[in-house]
Amino acid sequence: MKSPATAAPPPPGLPPRVLLVSSTLDDDGGIPVCVAQLAEGLAGHGAAVEIAGQHAARPATVISDVASRGLATLSAIAAPWHPLGQWRAARRMRRIVSASAARAAAEGRRFVVHLHGVWVAPVQAAARAATAAGATLVISPHGMLRAEALRKSRWRKRLVWHASLRPLLLRADTLHVTSPAEGEDLVALLPGCEPRLVPLGVRPPADAPRGRAAGGVRRAGYLGRLLPIKHLDGLLEAWKAAAPAGWRLSIRGPSDGHEAARLAALADRLGIAAEVEIGGAVPQEGLGEHFASLELFVLPSRSEAFALVVGEALAAGVPAICTTAAPWAAIAPRGCGWSVAPTVPALAEALERATALAPEALQAMGRRGQAWVRAEYSWGHVAGRHLDELYRCARAAPAPVPPPPA
């Protein structure tokens, strides 16, 4: 793995050809959104952009939209997510990388392969093919190698880590993290590595008129995948402890069904079922309307990488409570939210303070957050940082293999 100090300057000429490999193209979580928006930002800087990945149904709308506008070409591999489907997708992915490398050579462009995610077979196949093609290889784990995330499916992940993933990470020119804590966890896994910290960009949701539910009920909300690591049971317990009068809590996001049912049962046991709405994912085009219905956003997670949804809420003018597991501690000094420990008492105290504020006070906090995020996290600016700070590496011999993680 190359040290930043030895990175060679890019050759003169055209901006690079960049192949963005998404761990999924399905409309499921934040990675397809990030990939699509990064592709648009890179295209704005003159890069030739391709997107590739596996999907089970159809590519996410946000991915298809970028491709339909001619900002990136799309290689969508339709295959089920069982092992055989991933194996077939991996074979196809190797051909996609090789063809993209040939296009870059014919154009006189440098070739960059940027992986988003680490665990699935097509992504790992892309890493091997990129190394074989002499491409600059950039890997963004998107929080998948955080200590808390590694506790889920621990033994399966340890097997994949030792068998294939660790050597691939060591061959990368750049390991990209989006928060200091994610970088610390990565260094603990790979002693001696030097991950580079570049945040994600935030595209403001479409503006929508603000409204309040029937009866003047005020609403706070969580938006994201419904997973144990998001600590949504802790959010429900904190809501019970805070007991905010005149408020309802919205919990929305994709789920396997089991987690949503578990949370609904917990709300019922806590006696707050009438105050809690648990629903499915909000489509990208509906984000503006969704955030317009909220006065407060809450992210109770025990582990996060960038937590893009916090930036989206702020960009929509909604103040936020988020835990210190997310890299948004600046919301407190910026006057647009609260950053608290991922514990029930800390969340409950923040909820009490936030829900006691008048609507005008929360709106003023939202305006401060909106101005900050829209100024400093535009995708045009962040894509430029990708080109300058993540993609300007020449290939190097891999570093010595460190001892495996305990």
Question: Residues 67-76: pLDDT tens digits?
Answer: 999 999 999 9
Tell me the percentage of the chain whose pLDDT exceeds 90: 73
Burial of residue 358 (CB within 10 Å: 0-12, 13-18, 19+) is: exposed
Q: How far apart are CA 66 and CA 20, in angstroms?
A: 13
> Looking at residue 28, what is its pLDDT?
65
- In a domain? residue 400: no
**Above 90 in pLDDT, residue 285?**
no
185 and 282 fall within a common domain: no
260 and 167 together in one domain: no
Confidence label for 1 from pLDDT (cuts 50, 70 and 90): low
In a shared domain, residues 373 and 386: no
Give me the pLDDT at residue 89, please.
95
| Distance of alpha carbon 360 from alpha carbon 371, whole angstroms | 17
pLDDT digits (tens, 9 = 90+) for 358-394: 999 999 999 999 999 998 899 989 999 999 999 986 4
Would 403 be classed as within a structural domain?
no
Q: Which is nearest to 234 in space by CA: 143, 299, 324, 314? A: 299
Domain span including residue 238: 214-377
In a domain, 238, yes or no: yes
Q: How buried is residue 390: exposed, middle or buried, by Cβ count under 10 Å (0-12/13-18/19+)?
A: buried
Pick the range with the lowest mean pLDDT from 21-30, 322-331, 342-351.
21-30
pLDDT of residue 198 exceeding 80, the answer is yes
Same domain, 73 and 196: yes
Cβ neighbours of 126 (radius 10 Å): 27
pLDDT above 70 (res 97) = yes
Quote the pLDDT of residue 214.
Answer: 54
Specify the higher pLDDT residue, 399 or 269. Answer: 269
Whether residue 335 has pLDDT greater than 50? yes
CATH code at position 55: 3.40.50.2000
Looking at the fold, whether 177 and 248 belong to one and the same domain comes out as: no
pLDDT over 80 at 402, yes or no: no
Is 402 part of any domain? no
Q: Is the pLDDT of residue 6 over 70?
A: no
Which pLDDT does position 213 carry in this prediction? 55
Q: Flag whether 219 is in a domain.
A: yes
Co-location of 146 and 194 in the same domain: yes
Is residue 20, in this structure, part of any structural domain at all? yes
Residues 26 and 40 in one domain: yes
At residue 175, the pLDDT reads 96
**C-alpha neighbours within 13 Å on the C-beta side of residue 254:** 7
Q: Positive or negative CA dihedral for 311, 313, 317, 323?
A: negative
Tokens found for residue 156: 């399966």
**What is the model's pLDDT at position 29?**
64
pLDDT digits (tens, 9 = 90+) for 207-223: 877 765 556 899 999 99
Structure tokens at 25: 């193209």
Where residue 256 falls among pLDDT bands split at 50, 70, 90?
confident
pLDDT for the residue 155:
87
Q: Structural domain tally of the chain? A: 2
Which whole number is the average pLDDT over 290-318? 93
- Has residue 44 been placed in a domain? yes
Q: 196 and 245 in one domain?
A: no
